[in-house]
Amino acid sequence: MSENYTQMWTDLGLDLDKHDALLAVLGQAYQDVFLTQKNRPKSMEYFDFVMSEVHGLRIKEIVDARAEGRPVVGTFCTFVPEELVLAVNGVFVGLCSGADFGLESAEKLLPRNTCSLIKSAFGFAIEKVCPYIEASDLIVGENTCDGKKKSFEQYKDLVKDFYAMDLPQTRSVEGKALLKSEYMRFAKKLEEMSGKKITANNLKKAIAIVNKKRAAMHRLSKLRAATPAVISGLDSLLMNQVYFYDDPIRFTDSVNKICDELEERIKSDEAYMDEKAARIVVTGCPMAVPNWKLHSIIESCGAIVVGDESCVGDRGTQTLTKDNSNTLDGLFDYIVERYQTIDCAIYTPNPTREEHIKKMFANTKADGVIQYSLQFCSPYQMEAIPLENTLENKDIPTLRIDTDYSAEDAEQIRTRIEAFIERIQD
């Protein structure tokens, strides 16, 4: 990092020795996974810079925002409406939950057969190594799966101010009413924190900012469908991950610059990878920084990830929020309508996810689908088998991968992916 942020990290209460160890591992992993790629878009230098300063300059910006009286809201889930946070001039950030850190400490509070994402969230909080947690004025936990819901009963004691948000499990009239009441309750919490009222005017402005961010990712998704591919799945995953950390306006501009470059690559027939490379859509559990394991293995096997049906991917960005209402209540209805379209496995039934995957498969000209589930993530593991059967019956080759954040099964996964690539290229 270009500056010394030691005093800032100390003021935030981080364990400096453990934090230094984390940054060393993260920096080496980034070097090995991303900077060894060939023929990357030049505009990806911005995201390399973001990652080099992910615990530095971006945290300083957040600390400075707090000093200006702007509330900082940390979240784990795409169901938490960024629009509401921006409407009170707040800062919306994702929290650390993508690596096995503090696993031993986490397992003193959680069963061993808890998914890696939840254990990671606990490990980062207990070990005091995530500056996003420590810099947040409010941490929002959403009751998606049972694991999160019950674990939050303990997690709330690890952080300064914790807020639990309930979510519906069905796309029913009753479910919609619950979601609206929860979002309105959350809005009141934000107003109390910030001292600002959410109005139709400032909410419309916030919706516009988030819609532009999502639209930039839609543009990227369409360009990933180019044949031959013009960008790696790893770099696309990185952009989807940074989506949750960066300043939204700056992020939008940076993604659009990359898309401009990719369009020029398409015009000049400058490919990232050979046209014969197997094209893969990855679907399933979200992949938070620094969870690059599956994409790294897939692309080291000579294939290319051309689509991500994930909360850290197209599922999290696929729908814009309508804003053609001049009333606050009308805009809340549009926000609820938008977030109810998320194809999360918490919904039962969840047929739209299947349709979304089939559409992505066709649009990206993919050769196969890999389902990624974290071990002990019941919602996605439960959906995986019937989804595989449905896709295979539609002649869409599918592979199920159940894993965690460790590297212990990497070679086993590699062997299975190599066999899958052989199958879809026969």
The string of pLDDT tens digits covering residues 394-406 is 999 999 999 999 9
359 and 291 in a common domain: yes
DSSP letter (8 states) at residue 43: G
Is the pLDDT at 2 greater than 80? The verdict is: no
Q: Which of 116, 173, 166, 110 is nearest to 141 (CA)?
A: 166
Considering all CA atoms of the chain, what is the largest pairwise distance in Å, rounded to the nearest integer? 62
- The answer for 13, left when phi > 0, alpha when psi is -120 to 50, beta otherwise, is left
- In which domain, by residue range, is 59 found? 6-191
Banded model confidence at residue 283, pLDDT cuts 50, 70, 90: very high
> Which pLDDT belongs to residue 275?
81
> Which pLDDT belongs to residue 154?
97
Q: What is the pLDDT of residues 317-355, one digit of tens each?
A: 999 999 999 999 999 999 999 999 999 999 999 999 999
* Secondary structure tally for the chain: helices H, strands E: 19, 8
Mean pLDDT of all residues in 250-255: 98
156 and 132 in a common domain: yes
Sign of the four-CA dihedral 377, 378, 379, 381: positive
Q: Which of 85, 90, 117 is nearest to 103 (CA)?
A: 117
Beta-bridge mates of residue 164 = 141
* Mean pLDDT over the full length of the chain: 96
> Which pLDDT belongs to residue 274?
76
Banded model confidence at residue 250, pLDDT cuts 50, 70, 90: very high
Using an 8 Å Cβ cutoff, are 211 and 320 in contact? yes
> What's the CA gap between 65 and 308, in Å, rounded?
32
219 and 187 in a common domain: no
Domain end residue (candidates: 191, 220, 241): 191
164 and 21 in a common domain: yes
Domain end residue (candidates: 146, 169, 191): 191
> Which pLDDT belongs to residue 126?
98
> What's the CA gap between 397 and 410, in Å, rounded?
21
> What's the CA gap between 32 and 144, in Å, rounded?
34
Using an 8 Å Cβ cutoff, are 399 and 370 in contact? yes
Mean pLDDT of all residues in 64-92: 97
Is the pLDDT at 205 greater than 60? The verdict is: yes
In the sheet where 162-166 sits, what is the strand order? 91-94, 72-75, 138-143, 162-166
- The answer for 390, left when phi > 0, alpha when psi is -120 to 50, beta otherwise, is alpha
89 and 115 in a common domain: yes
Provide the token pair at 150. 């019950």
Report the percent of the chain where pLDDT is more than 70: 100
Using an 8 Å Cβ cutoff, are 128 and 18 in contact? yes
Whether the full predicted model's pTM is greater than 0.75, yes or no, is yes
Is 66 part of a structural domain of the chain? Answer: yes
> Which pLDDT belongs to residue 300?
97
Mean pLDDT of all residues in 5-10: 97
What dihedral angle (degrees, nearest 10) is formed by the CA atoms of 41, 46, 47, 48? Answer: 90
223 and 160 in a common domain: no
> Which pLDDT belongs to residue 190?
98
Is 303 part of a structural domain of the chain? Answer: yes
CATH number at residue 367: 3.40.50.11900
Strand 368-374 versus strand 304-309 pairing type: unpaired
> Which pLDDT belongs to residue 270?
86
> What's the CA gap between 209 and 206, in Å, rounded?
5
Using an 8 Å Cβ cutoff, are 237 and 312 in contact? yes
Is 131 part of a structural domain of the chain? Answer: yes
Is 311 part of a structural domain of the chain? Answer: yes
Residue type, 108: K
Mean pLDDT of all residues in 290-309: 98
Domain end residue (candidates: 138, 165, 191): 191
Using an 8 Å Cβ cutoff, are 426 and 420 in contact? no
Q: What is the pLDDT of residues 132-170, one digit of tens each?
A: 999 999 999 999 999 999 999 999 999 999 999 999 999
Q: Give Cα 312 distance to the centre of its chain.
A: 3
69 and 20 in a common domain: yes
Angle, CA of 197, 199 and 201, to the nearest 5°? 135
What dihedral angle (degrees, nearest 10) is formed by the CA atoms of 402, 220, 213, 132? Answer: 40
260 and 155 in a common domain: no
Q: What is the pLDDT of residues 35-74, one digit of tens each?
A: 999 999 999 999 999 999 999 999 999 999 999 999 999 9
């000093």: which residue's tokens?
Answer: 67
> What's the CA gap between 264 and 268, in Å, rounded?
6
87 and 126 in a common domain: yes
Provide the token pair at 416. 């299975």
